[in-house]
Amino acid sequence: MSMSMQLAIATVMVAATVLIHLIGLAGLLAVLRRHRHASSAVLASVINGMAILFAAFGLFVLHAIEIWLWAALYLVSDALADLEQALYFSTSTYVTIGYGDVVLPVGSRILGVIEGANGIILIGWSTAFFFSIVDRLKLLERDLQRG
Domain parsing of the chain, residue ranges: 3-146
Residue pLDDT, tens place only, 31-88? 888 766 666 667 777 888 888 999 999 999 999 999 999 999 999 999 999 999 999 9
Report yes or no: 17 and 64 within 8 Å, Cβ to Cβ: no
DSSP letter assigned to residue 105: P
CB 135: neighbour CB atoms within 10 A? 10
| Predicted TM-score of the model (pTM) | 0.89
- Find, among 58, 123, 68, the residue nearest to 91 by Cα: 68
| pLDDT on residue 145 | 66
Residue pLDDT, tens place only, 89-132? 999 999 999 888 999 999 999 999 999 999 999 999 999 999 99
Instruction: Tell me the C-alpha distance between 18 and 122, whole Å.
Output: 7
Q: In residues, how long is the chain?
A: 147
- Find, among 70, 135, 142, the residue nearest to 104 by Cα: 70
